[in-house]
């Protein structure tokens, strides 16, 4: 299909469906969500010419996974966003089954996308790593494939993340070897067009790691302080107590990269987010030197198609933008400071948890200091419990109706909770841990406390952020 035909079909889907999606009471007030259809991975996250660009995997034609487009937003401040021209549509033979995930770079003043062209055929699949360059109208001109499927790997090779180091371009690329083990490849290029494979930088069975999943999706490599952080999403890990409870995991290794040998010496794998919905995060470096991150508040191959927003023609949101710092070998995540612009009508409360009034959490932020044990209910649809063992989050599974839980173990001193109609993001102890989850209350959501803990809290209503 031609690019023009696909763009017309996407436009028709948006025009015919936007009134229906806008009427959904579960639609976020300030998180990013697709106009219609299905959205998943954040892509091409960059600050370019002083303005943030965030692309996203998108199927505008249905609430289903399929041949993905790239939608595109931009923002001056991470708060107020506007829709930009559709970045990519899967119109070419080398991307016939989707423009899969990738990244963006500033190449001598040209905003350049690097993405995976996904191709499926009878009995198999292949993948091309492709380039597209933004023109003066804000649209992207495709330059086509620059890297074919490397030898020694299955067709599951995707999600390039590219950066510059010492005058050369480097790429981390998700791959599956012929023994069906997940790997991260490191490649080098002088110009983004000609790429050389340096080796397997990390993966299942490497660097002292045992068997650790059949595919490592969505890699991202960056420096915090004097360490390299490798983000990746291993698939195929078995649950281990409270660890690895989601269908697929998302986390990081902290270590040191030897660019000459293409090896990352690293410690253990840490999950980035312990909530029910978090996957495929991507980072960018801001002009003021902060490492920012946005993730998909969803999961592939889980229970996503039982979410009630499908009845209104859309599904999934992004997380809030987060600032990353390093403490020892652990990544600390805090909501981006720009989000404080959303705050309105502060209320301060102090007392025993069970004596506190119910709080409106339709679109709200809470800062909570805790001494003791308590429970809290978000509209009887999502339940939080804190005691000396840590924090537990529970809800009923949308598919089975059975109770499911996620847990962080440790002393809970403070909570920062961001609420947005059908999502909750809980930051523990100033970013020591995070739990992000969707939930779907039947009515205007209120938070009700119970228990004997002494609690001091601040509550803000958050204003709606209109996407232009």
Catalytic residues: 41
Contact, 446 vs 359, CB < 8 A?
Answer: yes
Taking alpha carbons only, the member of 397, 372, 56 closest to residue 247 is: 397
Sequence-distant (6+) residues with CB within 8 A of 10 are 60, 61, 69, 86, 89
Taking alpha carbons only, the member of 43, 44, 42, 37 closest to residue 9 is: 37
Joined tokens for residue 400: 């089975």
Contact, 181 vs 204, CB < 8 A?
Answer: yes
Phi/psi of residue 67, nearest 5 degrees: -75, 100
Beta bridge partners of 147: 129
């Amino acid at each position: 299909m031609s690019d023009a035909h696909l763009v017309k079909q996407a436009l028709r889907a948006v025009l015919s469906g936007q009134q229906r999606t806008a009427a959904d009471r579960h639609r976020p007030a300030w998180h990013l969500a697709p106009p219609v259809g299905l959205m998943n991975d954040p892509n091409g996250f960059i600050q370019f010419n002083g303005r943030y660009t965030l692309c996203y995997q998108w199927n505008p034609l249905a609430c289903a996974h399929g041949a993905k487009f790239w939608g595109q937003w931009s923002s001056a401040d991470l708060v107020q966003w506007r829709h930009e021209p559709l970045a990519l549509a899967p119109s070419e033979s080398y991307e016939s089954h989707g423009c899969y995930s990738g990244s963006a770079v500033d190449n001598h003043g040209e905003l350049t996308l690097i993405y995976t062209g996904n191709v499926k055929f009878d009995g198999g699949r292949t993948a091309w790593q492709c380039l597209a360059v933004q023109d003066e109208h804000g649209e992207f001109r495709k330059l086509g494939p620059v890297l074919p499927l490397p030898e020694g790997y299955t067709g599951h090779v995707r999600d390039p993340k590219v950066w510059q180091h010492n005058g050369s371009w480097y790429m981390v690329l998700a791959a599956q070897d012929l023994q069906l083990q997940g790997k991260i490849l490191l490649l080098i290029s002088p110009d983004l067009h000609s790429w050389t494979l340096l080796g397997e930088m990390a993966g299942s069975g490497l660097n002292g790691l045992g068997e650790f999943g059949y595919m490592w999706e969505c890699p991202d490599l960056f420096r915090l302080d004097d360490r390299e952080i490798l983000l990746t999403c291993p698939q195929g890990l078995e649950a281990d107590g409270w660890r690895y409870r989601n269908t697929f995991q998302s986390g990081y290794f902290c270590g040191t990269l030897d660019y000459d040998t293409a090896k990352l010496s690293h410690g253990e794998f840490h999950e980035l987010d312990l909530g029910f919905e978090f996957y495929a995060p991507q980072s960018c470096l801001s002009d003021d030197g902060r490492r920012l991150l946005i993730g998909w508040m969803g999961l592939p191959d889980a229970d996503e198609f039982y979410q009630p927003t499908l009845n209104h023609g859309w599904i999934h949101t992004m997380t809030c933008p987060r600032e990353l710092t390093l403490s020892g070998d652990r990544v600390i995540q805090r909501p981006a400071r720009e989000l404080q612009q959303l705050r309105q009508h502060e209320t301060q409360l102090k007392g025993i948890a069970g004596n506190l009034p119910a709080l409106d959490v339709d679109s709200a932020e809470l800062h909570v200091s805790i001494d003791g044990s308590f429970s809290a209910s978000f509209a009887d649809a999502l339940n939080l419990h804190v005691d000396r063992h840590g924090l537990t989050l529970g809800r009923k599974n949308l598919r089975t109706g059975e109770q499911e839980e996620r847990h962080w173990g440790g002393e809970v001193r403070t909570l920062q909770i961001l609420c947005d109609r059908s999502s909750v993001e809980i930051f523990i102890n100033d970013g020591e841990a995070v739990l992000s989850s969707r939930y779907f209350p039947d009515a205007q959501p209120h938070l009700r406390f119970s228990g004997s803990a002494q609690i001091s809290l601040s509550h803000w209503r958050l204003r709606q952020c209109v996407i232009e």
